[in-house]
């Protein structure tokens, strides 16, 4: 079954804003179970929430592939819980970078702007989280045909180097967004501050797994690109584990889900299928993530505000 909407990107952006905003606001009002911050503390978090939602809207609007997966990543409860802290900004920037690099092939009048925007977004992520440096590998896809390899390398490799440059500035990185390097050492809520009902876990599992089986239309990126991006995500995970292992004793321990979320755009970009035809059509499995996000938008604020 196909469901046609006027503007695929506009649908996902509006759904993200309408369903994510109430959850972000509710979770921003609390910090840890049993603790309620002052009104001033909650008010200070509003600009971060606005930045997260704005960057998320931009990502869903400019993406040409993988919009449903990006929507699921941004509306994941842990992502919305992180929106009131610096981790949400890092995640949204990583998603925006992947969205800017989603066209296949990377051509057209907006190509330079997309590359420049993705480079800036990745550089900011690396500035805040040096372990996310492998995200710079996204700037090298899509891979060019053999006849244009040298030209593409001359164009893309300097951009990747610029995106990696903040990883060489550890002192500036620690002061830039007010976040230490080691995974698990950020500010703000480190986990979802409210218990998530079991049925929401089950619904999200269905919403994420069913589309993998049902949405098999359209071509996948070449195997080389899938291996490249998947390997980059694994490298980022290894760097995060290493940073955590080298962290001083007594510091915040253990990787948090929010530490891994900025790496998720890499496999999304690796396995997002191209669209067949030009009609803006959505198949019903893709709407399962909207259903899961809609139930979150009702359940989580009620739990957070103890209604």
> Is residue 55 within 8 Å of residue 96, measured between CB atoms?
yes
Which tokens in the block code for residue 283? Answer: 């198949």
Contact 12, 67 (CB under 8 A): yes
Q: Is 47 exposed, middle or buried (0-12, 13-18, 19+ CB in 10 A)?
A: exposed
d(CA 91, CA 300): 20
pLDDT, residue 194, reads 67
Q: Are the C-beta atoms of 131 and 169 separated by less than 8 Å?
A: no
Q: Is 20 exposed, middle or buried (0-12, 13-18, 19+ CB in 10 A)?
A: buried
Nearest to 106 by CA among 79, 142, 77, 131: 142
The two structure tokens encoding residue 6: 């006027």
pTM (predicted TM-score): 0.88
Helix 86-100 vs helix 67-75: angle between axes, to the nearest 10 degrees?
A: 180
Contacts of 37 (CB under 8 A, 6+ apart): 29, 30, 31
pLDDT at 182: 45
Q: Show the CA angle centred on residue 222, arms to residues 216 and 223, nearest 5°.
A: 95
> Over its length of 307 residues, how does the chain's per-residue pLDDT go in tens digits?
555 444 588 899 999 999 999 998 888 777 544 455 556 666 778 899 999 999 999 999 999 999 999 999 999 998 998 898 889 999 999 999 999 999 988 888 899 999 999 999 999 999 999 999 999 999 999 888 887 888 888 889 999 999 999 888 764 444 444 444 444 444 444 466 667 778 888 899 999 999 888 877 888 999 999 999 999 999 999 998 887 766 665 455 567 777 889 999 999 999 998 876 644 567 788 899 999 999 999 988 888 777 5
* Model pLDDT, residue 246: 66
Q: Exposed e or buried b for every residue in 218-257, given b needs 16+ CB within 10 A?
A: eeebeeebbebbeebbebbbebbeebbeebeeeeeeeebb
285 token code pair? 């499995």
Q: How far is CA 5 from the centre of its chain?
A: 24
The pLDDT, as a whole number, for residue 26 is: 84
pLDDT for position 178: 40
Give the strand pairing for 281-283 and 2-4. antiparallel
């Amino acid at each position: 079954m196909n469901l046609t909407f006027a503007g695929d990107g506009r649908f996902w952006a509006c759904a993200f804003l309408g369903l994510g905003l109430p959850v972000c606001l509710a979770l921003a009002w609390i910090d840890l179970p049993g603790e309620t911050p002052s009104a001033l503390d909650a008010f200070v978090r509003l600009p971060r929430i606005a930045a997260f939602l704005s960057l998320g809207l931009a990502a869903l609007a400019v993406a040409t592939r993988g919009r449903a997966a990006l929507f699921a990543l941004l509306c994941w409860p842990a992502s919305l819980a992180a929106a009131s802290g610096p981790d949400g900004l890092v995640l949204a920037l990583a998603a925006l970078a992947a969205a800017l690099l989603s066209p296949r092939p990377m051509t057209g009048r907006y190509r330079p702007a997309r590359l420049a925007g993705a480079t800036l977004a990745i550089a900011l992520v690396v500035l805040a989280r040096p372990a996310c440096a492998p995200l710079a590998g996204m700037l090298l896809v899509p891979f060019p045909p053999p006849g244009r390899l040298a030209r593409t390398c001359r164009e893309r490799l300097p951009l990747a180097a610029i995106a990696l440059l903040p990883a060489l500035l550890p002192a500036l990185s620690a002061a830039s967004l007010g976040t230490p390097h080691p995974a698990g050492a950020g500010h703000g809520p480190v986990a979802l501050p409210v218990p998530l009902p079991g049925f929401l876990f089950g619904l999200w599992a269905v919403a994420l797994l069913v589309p993998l089986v049902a949405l098999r239309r359209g071509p996948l990126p070449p195997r080389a690109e899938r291996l490249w991006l998947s390997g980059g995500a694994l490298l980022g995970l290894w760097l995060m584990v290493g940073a955590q292992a080298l962290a001083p004793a007594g510091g915040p321990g253990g990787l948090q889900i929010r530490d891994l979320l900025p790496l998720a755009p890499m496999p999304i970009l690796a396995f997002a299928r191209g669209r067949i035809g030009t009609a803006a059509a959505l198949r019903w499995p893709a709407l399962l993530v909207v259903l899961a996000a809609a139930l979150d938008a009702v359940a989580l604020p009620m739990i957070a505000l103890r209604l």
